[in-house]
Structure 1
Amino acid sequence: MDKVKQSAADAVGDIGDHASLAVGGFGLSGVPNTLIAAVLARGVRGLRVVSNNCGVDGAGLGTLLAAGRIARVTGSYIGDNKEFARQYLGGELEVELVPQGTLAERLRAGGCGIPAFFTPAGVGTQVADGGLPLRYAAAGADAGAGTVAVPSPAKEVRVFDGQEHVLEYGITTDFALVRAAKGDRYGNLVFNKAARNFNPLAAMAGRVTVAEVEELVEPGDLDPDAVHLPGVFVQRVVVLDAEQAADKQIEKRTVRT
């Protein structure tokens, strides 16, 4: 029952080449930076990442991108990550762009054992009709750099109560990496405000979920009503030191004049 590991390196030690990872976080909030750094240190390649976004230049999943360790990303947006945009447009990276609510539900569905579901989100667009660029042609390709090498396929559309809905599949991954404010030795987790974001959903989707926690408490210390994610979804817990717990970057600092 005690799921605490000695180090982040120990907790991610069986993540290998071409593994699929669901990673929590939204922008720079609630990102499991310590676990991502441990994956980077392992030197694994060809990773298939599912995350709302892929970090920023030099932080979070952006460090794995910059090192050329990610082969495919399923996410909602590219944002200000210039390296993400460069690799995608240059044909180095396959990217599946998914409406944000649909991505959240696909992760939740996978974690609940629901193989697929219908949603109205994306009907009448390339999300349903196909043609979104999954991969662009790289420089030197016969079709010419910048052309669409791999388009997204069309999806099944059905009518329910007079409204069209598109079929989307649940997501499960080999591993999940998440960050929580508190956790106990059994893996029960509590997230802090906006850092909750995609973390519970990513944790549910992973077959093996690793959680880094800012504060470890003993079993029974957490009010059951306060637990955001029960320990049944978590297999490993890593306790952050004071410096790691305080490492919370600000994506865009705004101050009053």
Structure 2
Amino acid sequence: MSDEVEPRPLEEPERDALQAGLDDLAWTFAKRATGLAPDDQPATVDDAGPGEDEIRAARLARATVYKQIEGLAASRIRLDVGQALEHSATLDDVAAALCVSRQAVAKRFGDLRRGERVVVVISRRDRVREYPADSRVRVGEVGGPEQYDSDRGVWPAGRRVRAKARHAVVAVDGVVRRIYALDPDGWREAETGKWEFTAVGGRELDAADIAAAYGAGELPLRPGDSCPTRAGGAYRPCWF
């Protein structure tokens, strides 16, 4: 982990603010679910506020909302931990951030980093888009000599991925279409935190080179293999 960016535990006022924000959010969605405006206190003889039935319904609705938040939080924790690991975090870093043991992290998130080899996976639809503000202007399945420039960037590749990746796999509509051999010293930071790769020879690999790399265990995928888009969008590392 970088010495310049160190996460810290939330202080008590921050935790209180977070709890208050979650309560407000949960109440908002609980009210939508019940169609009520529940109060924290039951109605009294002199109080025209909600009665016991309304409060019970509202509290159960908020419990349902918090259950949804619990599931969403778990999935977001997993996503963020995976991204952190891909960007050079260690299991000890994750354990410190979550205030749990390294063993607990390894048990819960160990599957996020399988193997020591990695390929860069780029997933896209079979279409072309134009971005006047982008130096490449056209991106996607542009074809011809422009295709290499479209494929090579820009991607949020972490330091560890840039150091270890030897191939980039391009999948179109969920099927592998092209593979490049990467020059490990050819990464260029085109935007802050986003990089362009350089392919060996400035071209995609031919069938013979792909077969040789796959046979040597250097590739987990070949053209024609299924490669659905996963969480994280157009770019993701694939450890194998």
Richer in helix (by share)? 2
Between 1 and 2, higher relative CO (CA 8 Å, sep ≥ 6) is seen in 1
Query: TM-score of the superposition, structure 1-length normalised?
Result: 0.23
Query: TM-score of the superposition, structure 2-length normalised?
Result: 0.24
